[in-house]
A and B are shown apart, each in its own frame.
Chain A
Amino acid sequence: MQDLTEHFVELIRRTSTDLPPDVEAALERARQAEADGSAARGALDTVLTNVRLAREKSAPICQDTGTPIFYVRHPEGWSTRRLREQIRAAVVEATRHAYLRPNAVDSITEKNSGNNLGDDAFPTIHFEEVEGSDLVVDVLLKGGGCENVGAQYSLPNTDLGAGRDLEGVRRVVLDAVHRAQGQGCAPGVLGVAVGGDRGSSYYASKEVLFRRLGQPSPDPQLAALETRLTEEANRLGIGPMGFGGKTTVLGVHVTGMHRLPASFFVSVSYMCWAHRRRRMTVRGDQIDIA
C-alpha cells in the first residue's frame, strides 16, 4: 500500500489556503449584487481580497481551521488502519507548517494537545469501502463559529407552526437562518437533513455540504425546496457578516433520510463563507487534488 502522508499534507494545505472555485464565484456574484459603498459590499470586497491573498501566500483563509473532517472511499484491499495513521500524521505535519491551527482541546482537562490530534473523532475520519479502483478522499475544514449556529428541530414544532412535511422543514430552516444572524460568518451554505435519528441526521447534514454549489438535489421536490429556501433566506436581509444586505446564504443543500415513525428531525449544518472543501483522487500513480 502506498504511503500517502505527504499527499494528505498537500490536500490539507490546499483546503485551508485555497477556496473551491464554485464558492469563490458565488461570493463574487454576491459582491456584485450589493450596492456600491454599502457595508455588505465592503465586507465581500475584504472577503474576496483575503481569498486571493491566502492563495498567493499559501496561508490559511481563516484562522479557525476547524475540525478536519475526512471521508475516505477506498477500494477493497486498502488498510483503513494505515490510512488513519497517515491522515493523523499529515494533520500533525500540516499543523507544524501553520496550515492548521492547533484546535484539539480536551474538554475535561482543558488542555490543547498542540498538534491537532485528539481522540478518535479528532480529526474526524469516515471510511467506506466502494466498488472500482479509485481511492477518493474528501476533506472539509469546518470552523467553530458556524458549527455553533447549527440547529436541530424535532417536528412538529408548535411555535413555528411546523408540521411533519416539507412546509414544516421550510419553516424551521428559515428560523435557523434567522437565529444564526451573522454569527456563522454569512453568507453561508446550509446543509439540511430531513429524517434519521439525532446522530445520523446531523452527520448527513454535513455530508451534503460536499455537493458543489449550484448542483441541485436529484430529487425534484427537494431541488425546488432548495431554490425556495435560498431565495427566502436571502429575503431576511441579514446579509454578509450580518451587516444587512442581499446575500445571507450562498446555497442550500437538502437531503432526505429514513426515520422512525415516532421521529421527524430536521438538522441544519451551517457552513461559513469560507467553505473549505477539497477532494483527492488516487488512481494508481496518478494523484489529483480538485
Chain B
Amino acid sequence: MRPITLPFSDDIICSLKVGDPVALTGVMITGRDAAHKWMIETCVRKTRPQSDEDAQVLAAIQPLLAGGAIYHCGPVVAGLETQEYRFVAAGPTTSIREEPYQGDVMRHFHLQAVIGKGGMGPKTLAACQEVPGVYLHAIGGAATLIAQTVTRVLGVHKLDFGVPEALWVIEVKDFPAVVTMDAHGGSLHARIENESRAALEKLLAG
C-alpha cells in the first residue's frame, strides 16, 4: 500500500495507475448528493444566487478542494449534542449519482481525487485526464474500519443538509483505497462492465 500525504501534486496523481492500493494521510472533506448539487448551482454554473453563507462556506472549502480529495460519504457521527464530533462509521456511498456534476466540480476547484465506491462514468474519467485526477475506491460497507482512520473531525459545513449530506472536514491517517480510475484513461469499472457484458451475452445466447 502506497502512503500518500494530501494535498496531491500532478506528479503523484500521474504516477498512480488502476489497481494501485493507497493509504491517504492529511485533511479531506466529505460531500455527496446535496453538496454536489449545491456546489454546481451556487458556484460552478451559478444557476441560483449565492447567499453570504454560501460564499463563506465556498471560501472555506476551496483551499481544501484545490489539489485535494472529496469523499463521497454520509457518516454516522457521535457527539452531535456536544459538538465534540467523532466519526463512528464512515464508509463510502455510491459515487455514480455524482456523475452529472463531478467532472465540472473537479475542473472548477482543481479537485484531484474523488473517493467513493462503485466507480464513475465517462464524464468523470475525462475530467481525471484533464485536471489531472484519480478516482479512489474505498471498500463499501467497511464503515467501522474506515472510521478508525479518521483521527479528528476539524469542522462541518452545511449541517442544515442533515448529518449524512453535510460537508465534514476530517483529518485522516492511512485511509485505505484502491485506484480504479486513473489520469491516463484507465478504468477498472469500464473493463469489468465490458467483460461481464460479454459473459452475460454468452449466458443468454440461444
Contacts and interface: CB of A to CB of B under 8 A. Distances in A.
A182 B203 contact: no
A201 interface: no
Given A50-B139, A101-B164, A39 B189 contact: no
B143 A60 contact: yes
B140 A185 contact: yes
Interface stretch (B7-15, B41-49, B75-83, B101-109): B75-83
B143 A62 contact: yes
Interface stretch (A2-10, A75-83, A173-181, A212-220): A173-181
A59 B89 contact: yes
A62 B91 contact: yes
B35 interface: no
Contacts of B164: 63, 101-103, 112
A59 B144 contact: yes
Nearest to A235: B199
B144 A114 contact: no
Given A101-B89, A145-B94, A65 B140 contact: no
Nearest to A99: B76
Q: Give the residue among B73, B88, B146, B200 with the most A Cβ atoms within 10 A.
A: B200
Contacts, number: 166
Interface string A226-252: 000000100111110111100000000
Main secondary structure of the interface of B (DSSP, over half): mixed
B2 interface: no
Nearest to A148: B94
B93 interface: yes
A171 interface: yes
B197 A272 contact: no
B197 A50 contact: no
Contacts of B144: 50, 53-54, 57, 59-61
B31 interface: no
A256 B4 CA distance: 52
Contacts of A64: 74, 91, 93, 143
Interface string B182-206: 0000001101110111011001100
Given A145-B94, A161-B204, A235-B203, A46 B139 contact: yes
B117 A182 contact: yes
A237 B34 CA distance: 33
Size range of the chain B interface in the assembly:
35 or more
Contact of B195 (A39, A105, A237, A273): A237
A49 interface: yes
B119 A61 contact: no
A47 B142 contact: yes
Interface string B18-51: 0101000000000000100000000000000000
Contacts of A62: 89, 91, 140-141, 143
Given A98-B78, A183-B118, A39 B19 contact: yes
Interface of B: 19, 21, 34, 73-78, 88-91, 93-94, 96, 117-119, 137, 139-148, 161-165, 176, 178, 180, 188-189, 191-193, 195-197, 199-200, 203-204
16 contacts: A42-B178, A53-B144, A54-B144, A60-B143, A65-B89, A101-B74, A101-B75, A101-B163, A112-B164, A174-B204, A182-B192, A232-B203, A235-B203, A242-B118, A243-B188, A274-B141
